[in-house]
Structure 1
Amino acid sequence: MTMRYHDPSLEHDEAVRYLATSDVSKVTEALISIGLDETNGDWAEHTCLQFIEHPDDEISAAAIVAIGHIARRFGALDMTKVTPALEQARRRSPSLSAAVNDAMDDIEMFT
């Protein structure tokens, strides 16, 4: 398998359009772009929290990774919402534990 870097940068409106699809790759790309590029931290956090609850683990994992990026970029999160969402994701699907651990490390380091 050959790995290829893909820049997930999307404009805000394009990310919103991607989130509205049922295409897993578009939704995950939008979430990572939101974590890395969105200028409205509150909107980015709120949006990612909604997608952490998504039944598809790939989408949930992307939202969790994006939360870590938001912590790094903005230096603050609403931990009264983030912590329960991350713990619920971990309980719902143990396969998300690594993503949750990485996000919690980012949160601890940058907030």
Structure 2
Amino acid sequence: MNHIKEEILLIMDSSTISYMGKCRVLLSALSDIEDWRWLQELYLKYALDHNDSIAGLSITCIGHIARIHQNIDLSRVHKVFQHIAETRPNLKGRIKDSLDDISTFTTS
């Protein structure tokens, strides 16, 4: 694993970083990391975060992966999104927007 990925994981796992700091890290990962599968797993993990800002941004960033890399593991994303939609209806709009990006920018 490269240095940037390790740094992202350390920051995201830190209990001393604010949720806004974590959101900045999640967003910057899109431009810092080329490995779309690694990004997808990062965002799927944090899409389940208890903080709605972190979870919502992670969901949005999954759509950005599709836009930037024209790739996504749709079956994996659907499973997580379905769980989130059932347990956190307030994030359904973010899920819909992300799925729209996926259908627009990928051929999966």
Task: Report the 3-state secondary structure (helix = DSSP H, G, I; strand = E; otherwise coil) of the residue aligned with 2:72.
Answer: coil
Match of 1:20 in 2: 13
**How many residue pairs align between the two structures?**
101
Query: Identity rate of aligned residues, in percent?
Result: 26
Task: Report the 3-state secondary structure (helix = DSSP H, G, I; strand = E; otherwise coil) of the residue aligned with 1:76.
Answer: coil
Map of 1:64-79 to 2, 5 A cutoff? 64-79=59-74
Greater per-residue helix proportion: 2
**What are the superposed Cα offsets for residues 44-86 of structure 1, whole Å, 9 maximum, x if unpaired?**
0111111111122111101101101101111111111101111
CA root-mean-square deviation: 1.6
Match of 1:98 in 2: 93
**Structure 2 Cα separation of the partners of residues 41 and 77 of structure 1:** 8
Q: TM-score, normalised by structure 1?
A: 0.80
**Structure 2 Cα separation of the partners of residues 20 and 56 of structure 1:** 14
**Structure 1 Cα separation of the partners of residues 78 and 27 of structure 2:** 19
Q: Does 2:88 correspond to 1:88?
A: no
Match of 2:103 in 1: 108
Unaligned runs of 5+ in 1: 1-10
**Structure 2 Cα separation of the partners of residues 106 and 18 of structure 1:** 27
**Structure 1 Cα separation of the partners of residues 34 and 83 of structure 2:** 27
Instruction: Indicate how the Cα distance of structure 1 residues 15 and 51 shifts in structure 2: closer, same or farther if over 3 A, else same.
Output: same
1:47 to 29, 42, 52: 42
Task: Report the 3-state secondary structure (helix = DSSP H, G, I; strand = E; otherwise coil) of the residue aligned with 1:34.
Answer: helix
Unaligned runs of 5+ in 2: none
What is the one-letter code of the residue matched to 1:82? V
